[in-house]
Amino acid sequence: MATAMTSIRLLLVLSAFLLALAQAPARAADVIYPPGSRIGLAPPPGLAPSRNFFGYEDPDNNVAIILVALPVEAYAELDKTVDAESFKRQGVTLETREAMPLSTGKAFLVIGHQDMDKTNLRKWFLVASSPALTAFVTVQVPDAAKARYPDEVIRAALGTLAVRATVPIDEQLGLVPFKIRELAGFRVAGVIPGRAVKLSDAPAAPSGPPEAALETHILVAIVPGGPAQSSERDTFARDVFATVPSIVPNLKDVRVENSEPLRIGGQQGYQILANGRDAAGGAALTMVQWLRFGGGAYLQMVGIARSDAWKDAYPRFRSVRDGIEPR
């Protein structure tokens, strides 16, 4: 009898173990990565990946989960600085803060509330470490949606947070409203969904002094508007180029060497060539800006390289430029 009971217990334990193994892939499959995001989780029913930001949303109920990837070292800083006083400055009342270890590494969860436009929002802030990045997750649920998204449901969803090693290139490029047919050996270094992409020679995790990280790169962005008349394109292109130092850090002593109209991809365009210096290390830089007009918007392309590497960089910039098509 004892032997029979022991066998039954062993069978029950074995069955439970096999059931857990069978269910593990299903749980992993529940994690949904918003397009372009290395961070993902299993969102509560009713929330779907957003087209407006990295995260998930239920616009009908004004519920959102926002995912932000920060550098690895950000975790230690946030661990020290996230407190009731820092939240108060942001208009958020902190209720609790607790450790919430995850499979990715150390993490902590902060819960609070905020009054916005006469609406009380329940808010969760999860800060999670991983070997690749620090995940900062914000959840907001108005009081009117609390029954649909109770605390235990939000907590369970946050507990599924995962970080993938890479984001497929096609997925990243699918976030911008134009096609890039030719990468010319560059890697995708960053994407602003619906707006812009940066292609670069810089490694994914640069090391060494800041000046050593200055690698050949090109920014491509689509911007609504443009000059009404062709005679205005020179002034317009120079005005747009004047904003480049504000979007490209560490540029100084920028001076335009040449500007002229030209056709790009069968459309009207404008080219500006310029020189400058890297403010961090003083290296001489050469840069090009191309504007391509049409369709109520213009495409801005800015390529920058060290002057001693310009001979090789310029043909690559042109290959990227000539391989861009509308979706």
Residue 204's pLDDT is: 66
Its CATH class, for the domain covering 31-163, is alpha beta
* Mean of pLDDT values over 77-101: 90
Tell me how far the alpha carbon of residue 273 is from its chain's centroid: 30
Give the burial class of 102: count Cβ atoms within 10 A of its Cβ; 0-12 exposed, 13-18 middle, 19 or more buried: buried
Superfamily of domain 169-326: Mog1/PsbP, alpha/beta/alpha sandwich (3.40.1000.10)
Residue 52's pLDDT is: 83
* Mean of pLDDT values over 5-23: 37
Give dist(CA 259, CA 93) in Å, integer: 54
Task: Confirm whether pTM is higher than 0.75.
Answer: no
Per the CB < 8 A criterion, the answer to whether 69 and 135 are in contact is yes
Q: What is the pLDDT of residues 288-324, one digit of tens each?
A: 999 999 888 999 999 999 999 999 999 999 999 999 9
What sign for the dihedral angle of Cα 48, 49, 52, 54? positive
CA nearest to 216, candidates 307, 321, 318:
307
Give dist(CA 147, CA 290) in Å, integer: 53
Residue 291 φ then ψ, to 5°: -115, 135
Q: What is the pLDDT of residues 258-275, one digit of tens each?
A: 999 999 988 999 999 999
Q: Is 50 exceeded by the pLDDT of residue 12?
A: no
**What is the average pLDDT score of the chain?**
87
Q: What is the pLDDT of residues 219-239, one digit of tens each?
A: 999 999 999 888 999 999 999
Residue 152's pLDDT is: 95
CATH 3.40.1000.10 in the chain is located at 31-163, 169-326
Q: What is the pLDDT of residues 24-74, one digit of tens each?
A: 333 444 899 999 999 999 999 999 999 888 999 999 999 999 999 999 999
* Mean of pLDDT values over 151-166: 95
